[in-house]
Amino acid sequence: MRDRIRPPAELETSVLDRLKADGIIETKQKGMMLAAAIGYHLEGQHGRRGLELDKLGEGIRLEYFQRVRDDAFIDALAVSLEQDLHALEDDSTDSRLTTFEQLAHVGLMELKRVCYDGQAKPLDALLDLIERTISSQTGPLPGLEGLGVLESLI
């Protein structure tokens, strides 16, 4: 069973390292979280799984994700994309990590475009993207208003 998450080698240098050097992300783990979320925002909602991964870079141990309580997001992404809670099975761990890496790949390419291909400063460009995304999301998804039922069951 895999215990590491690995970014694409080329984007690790051209985006993750750069974002870290520019003070926008504290760690590569945080950069991968941001990238995967953006990847999901762009591709995942349409049921796509991103790109085929080519050469992978240095791995980040899963333990780092757990330490800052971000691991739930990796699982949530897999469940959301599979539309199936069975994605949480132990046997599917590798598949969940691969899904995360594919989404991160898409997100890293978007981060490169937004932060480094335009005229604005990288942080400002990213903040604008975040603001736009937040303002485009309005309230809970239809049909999910009764989530409180679950609280009483588990």
Q: How many residues bind another protein (CB under 8 A)?
A: 53
Residue with Cβ nearer another protein (55 or 105): 105
Asked whether 81 and 44 are in contact (CB, 8 A), the reply is: yes
150 lies in the binding site for another protein (CB under 8 A): yes
Q: Please choose, out of 9-17, 47-55, 94-102, 146-154, the segment that lies near another protein by the rule CB under 8 A.
A: 146-154
Asked whether 50 and 100 are in contact (CB, 8 A), the reply is: no
77 lies in the binding site for another protein (CB under 8 A): yes
Encoded tokens for 34: 């941001």
For residue 30, the minimal CB distance to another protein (Å) is 5
For residue 27, the minimal CB distance to another protein (Å) is 8
Residue with Cβ nearer another protein (13 or 45): 45
24 lies in the binding site for another protein (CB under 8 A): yes
DSSP string, 12-62: IIIIIIHHHHTTS-SSHHHHHHHHHHHHHHHTGGGT---PPP-SB---EEH
Q: Which residues, other chains included, contact 151 with Cβ-Cβ below 8 Å and sequence gap of 6+?
A: none
Nearest to 40 by CA among 124, 82, 96, 103: 103
In the complex, which residues of this chain contact another protein (CB under 8 A)?
A: 23-27, 30-31, 33-34, 36-38, 40-41, 44-45, 68-73, 75-77, 79-80, 83-86, 88-89, 119-120, 123, 126-127, 130-131, 133-134, 137, 140-141, 143-144, 146-147, 149-150, 153-154
